[in-house]
Structure 1
Amino acid sequence: MKREQSFDAFISPPGLAGTLTLPENPRGLVAFAHGSGSSRFSTRNRAVARELNARRFATLLFDLLTPQEERDRSNVFDVAMLGQRLVATADWLQGLEPAVARLPVGLFGASTGAAAALMAAAQLPHRIAAVVSRGGRPDLAGEALPHVGAPTLLIVGGADVGVIELNEEALTRLGGPKALEIIPDATHLFPEPGAMDAVIEHASRWFERYL
């Protein structure tokens, strides 16, 4: 049994659309921060969310920018602003029904969304319980990295040249429990056969361990 609720989140600015999915007796909630050029309809993130739902995690897929804001491409790469949107979203979740508000929260970030997730985790050390980055740019979180206490998993493709090195460097700066998983032969968006399955399994296990 699960129930799915669509909503307009009352986050500043209002109108950030998203979908909250609540399985029966959820063990935690994972909010998704998509990367540049993506949205809450990302097929990859939705695949991750479906598996998390099957493992009794609630999921929140939502847009970090309004349609008007998305027209300005600089907003897509403003990770500080996107991080504040995630902080506001965590506050919004705490205002929902107690069955949702009490759940431990994890963040799943892709591309620039990974940096936003880490910046939010640094600001909310007692609220964010775990972070997973898929093909992310954690290096863009900059000085926030040492302040991230939440257990963080960085997942990167083995053929994602350049991004691997950025993840390895960011890993050394993260403050809390941390790990790096490299998916052999996978490129940035993990389109290779079995690559996304590996991402989903690593992410699911991380959230099962820390949420």
Structure 2
Amino acid sequence: MKIAILTEGDGEFKSLPQLYEQLHDKMPNRTRIVKTLKISVQPDAEHGQLVAACRPNLALARAVADRIIVLLDREQQQQCPGGVAQQLEDEFKKIAKVPVQVVLKNRMYENWLLADLDALRSQPARFAVDAAAQRKICPNKADSIDGLREIKRLVKNGDYSKTSDSDKICRKANVEKMAANSRSFRHFLHAVGHESYRDVCRLPAQLAQTTGPKKRRGRA
């Protein structure tokens, strides 16, 4: 299975591939992310317009991939991420010739970047991770904060850069630690078939193991 990822945002386009080696180690045999393409869309645009704007890159993606994952920020949308994703997937079905799955970052990429605070702690010249950040994010609370404001607060020696700082963080990040603190990142791992979240992704893997399986309702 070959997967292509379409993502809005310069930071995601530049830094997300830094995580692929870790992902590939836990994905099914012969399943690989083979292409990352940047889409120029507003995540909260009208769904038909958003999907139409993705059309050129959809064609490029399906030329090399069997399946496409579209990553978008939830930002300030009030509707639940699962509902938004389902509506967009229904629109993509009208024009895509391969399966398309939509994953919403809750609420933005910076929430994912903050989900492994050890990645920031490993760069003390650039990030000052304090007890307040730990309380806000751990355990399993990274999606509930204003990610951009928080990461700007932790940056030292200059302004936060969506491209260079995200790249630095992803080079140090551990996807299992990120998953422990971000449900929307776990949903991304579920989408790519990561072994820890292949079946369900509501809870972090360690907690899910202790609570046992539960009946699934709706989207993972």
TM-score, scaled to structure 1: 0.41
Structure ID, larger Rg: 2
| Greater strand fraction, Structure 1 or Structure 2 | 1
TM-score (normalizing by structure 2)? 0.39
More helix by share: 2
Higher relative contact order (CA 8 A, sep 6+): 2
